Amino acid sequence: MSSNNSSNILALNKPKGYIVTRSDEKGRKTVYDLLPDWAFDDGWMPIGRLDLDSKGLLLFTKDGKIGNELTKSGGCIKTYEILVRGHVTDMHIQSALKGVETAIGILKVHNVEKIGNAGAKTKLRVQINEGKNRHIRRLFGAMTDPKFRTPLKVLELSRVSIGSLKLDIVSGKWRFLSQNEEHELLRY
């Protein structure tokens, strides 16, 4: 490890199909299968979660204070690019910003912008500053496509940044953050 690298935080580009847990009783692949053995043995823990069907930037630390700082509600903004089955309208975007009633309560986003669409699919860039279980999937799933009268469905979800840190790693690979990246992330 270079002296310019952090010894507190490492980043992984989690592929779809890996579960964020130390071990899985069902025998599914875990994110620790992508990391060196010492990450498991030395107690490196994920900072937050990405579900089995999601991919993108996932951070790990051995320092509980860093983990708490980066996951506290209203703290670090996380940015996602998602592909939604359904026609996402300006009204949906306004609802997502104000808050949408879901099975687990009201969920909302910090920011959302439409970045593309093709037929009945819409690509969005979504930012949240809190992360409840399946937050984005539940929020959009609670809204209805105005044309087909069916629930919107998140087909793909990729976390592309956490705070000031942008995803720059090939899928399935990891690296330590630089000291500068760690400093910027923790003051974010």
Residues known to be catalytic: 51
In the block, residue with structure tokens 């469905």: 153
Question: What gap in Å lies between CA 180 and CA 105, rounded to an integer?
Answer: 38
Is 154:107 a contact under the CB 8 Å cutoff? no
Is 19:185 a contact under the CB 8 Å cutoff? no
The count of C-alpha atoms lying within 13 angstroms of the C-alpha of 100, restricted to the half-sphere facing its C-beta, is 23
Question: What gap in Å lies between CA 71 and CA 49, rounded to an integer?
Answer: 10
DSSP string, 108-160: --SEEEEEEEETTEEEEEEEESS--TTHHHHHHHTSB-TTT-SB-EEEEEEEE
Would you call 24 helix, strand, or coil by DSSP? coil
Taking each helix axis from N to C terminus, what angle separates 64-71 and 179-187, rounded to the nearest 10 degrees? 50
